[in-house]
Amino acid sequence: MDLANFKEISGQQIKELVDSGIKIKNNPKKYMEALSGKSLGLIFQKTSTRTRVAFEVAMTQLGGHALFIDWRTTNFTLADIYDESQYLSRNVNCIMARVLKNSDLQKMILASQVPVINGCDEKYHPSQVIADLITIKEKKGKLEGLKVVFVGIHNNVCNSLIEGCTKTGIELTTVTPIINKNAQDQELMKTAKKTGLWKTTLNVHEAIVDADFIYTDTWIDMEFFTDSKFHREKENRIKIMKDYQINTELIRENGAFIMHDMPIHRGYEISEDIIEHPQSIIYVQSENRLYSAKAILLKLIG
């Protein structure tokens, strides 16, 4: 079993991952030897703080070993991704890959002899959303029937939220004036629409009225953030998105919890004063990446 996105995974399986993450968080000692003797290859084409730390620490705390591999220092840069993945998978028990293109992840999955976890590509970020659902369940004690509003760019996190929420009975409204072209997945949207649990609107004020959680994310994908070729697009996005910033004015008289998958761009998608606002659960959400990683690893190679 791989974790490329949530397409091949049922709502029940997602719920089990969430419950497993909470169980592990509450009783870490019980799992200290659970992956004894197992190795995880972590390979990154892009930068990361949380995904790398969470999976590396998860392996250590589960009694296993994680090997961080910077793509740029390997022969993945010279050779066929298929051959290199064939090799890598013969020396580790699991691979977690953060790649620029989902098509590269698919090649790795095809070649790999062991499970492959998507550590975020341009289309999906499933391990992030397991952490998000853990955070939501910790706060409310349930998933079904809750209302989440995502305000930002329709990106990889948005896709995985659409899948994760609609499969677990959460009502999700997305307020996304801009869609990342490379994140588009018609099949995912069609499936989500059929559930009746996913709505889109551009009226952010109306959308958040009865929200339990308001979630935002960067307006610019990490690989473009400092890219001078993306400068004009960045300026254009800021102009369009500034009316969709999560700030005190927007959440006045609104009791929803505030979420952000991080890294945060203060003053852009979220104002400074919201980050540690009493309604913000952003830092706990990021901490829960560790329990998401542990739950996924135990499910795939435990």
Binding positions for ligand CP, rule: CB under 6 A = 48-51, 120, 128, 261-263
* 88/106 Cα distance (integer angstroms): 15
**Rounded to the nearest whole angstrom, what is the least distance from the CB of residue 282 to ligand CP in the complex?**
11
* 286/284 Cα distance (integer angstroms): 5
Nearer to ligand CP, 50 or 277 (CB): 50
**Rounded to the nearest whole angstrom, what is the least distance from the CB of residue 216 to ligand CP in the complex?**
12
**Rounded to the nearest whole angstrom, what is the least distance from the CB of residue 58 to ligand CP in the complex?**
13
Tokens of 181: 């072209």
Nearer to ligand CP, 51 or 288 (CB): 51
Nearer to ligand CP, 50 or 237 (CB): 50
Nearer to ligand CP, 61 or 197 (CB): 61
**Rounded to the nearest whole angstrom, what is the least distance from the CB of residue 83 to ligand CP in the complex?**
27
Instruction: For 155-217, list the strands marked E by DSSP.
Output: 171-179, 198-200, 213-216
**Rounded to the nearest whole angstrom, what is the least distance from the CB of residue 33 to ligand CP in the complex?**
27
* 161/133 Cα distance (integer angstroms): 9
Please list, in sequence order, all residues whose beta carbon lies within 8 angstroms of the beta carbon of residue 26, skipping any fewer than 6 positions away. none
284: amino acid identity, one letter: V
**Rounded to the nearest whole angstrom, what is the least distance from the CB of residue 48 to ligand CP in the complex?**
3
Nearer to ligand CP, 22 or 282 (CB): 282
Closest CA to 180 of 158, 162, 201: 158
Nearer to ligand CP, 198 or 215 (CB): 215
Please list, in sequence order, all residues whose beta carbon lies within 8 angstroms of the beta carbon of residue 91, skipping any fewer than 6 positions away. 39, 41
Nearer to ligand CP, 76 or 215 (CB): 215
What is the enclosing helix (H) or strand (E) of 117?
strand 116-118
Phi then psi dihedrals of residue 256, to 5 deg: -65, 150
Cβ-contact 160, 125 below 8 angstroms: yes
3-class secondary structure, 136: helix
Nearer to ligand CP, 31 or 215 (CB): 215
Closest CA to 93 of 41, 58, 53, 56: 41
**Rounded to the nearest whole angstrom, what is the least distance from the CB of residue 128 to ligand CP in the complex?**
5
Please list, in sequence order, all residues whose beta carbon lies within 8 angstroms of the beta carbon of residue 211, skipping any fewer than 6 positions away. 147, 148, 149, 173, 254, 256
Q: List the end-to-end C-alpha distance of the chain, in Å, as a whole number.
A: 12
**Rounded to the nearest whole angstrom, what is the least distance from the CB of residue 255 to ligand CP in the complex?**
25
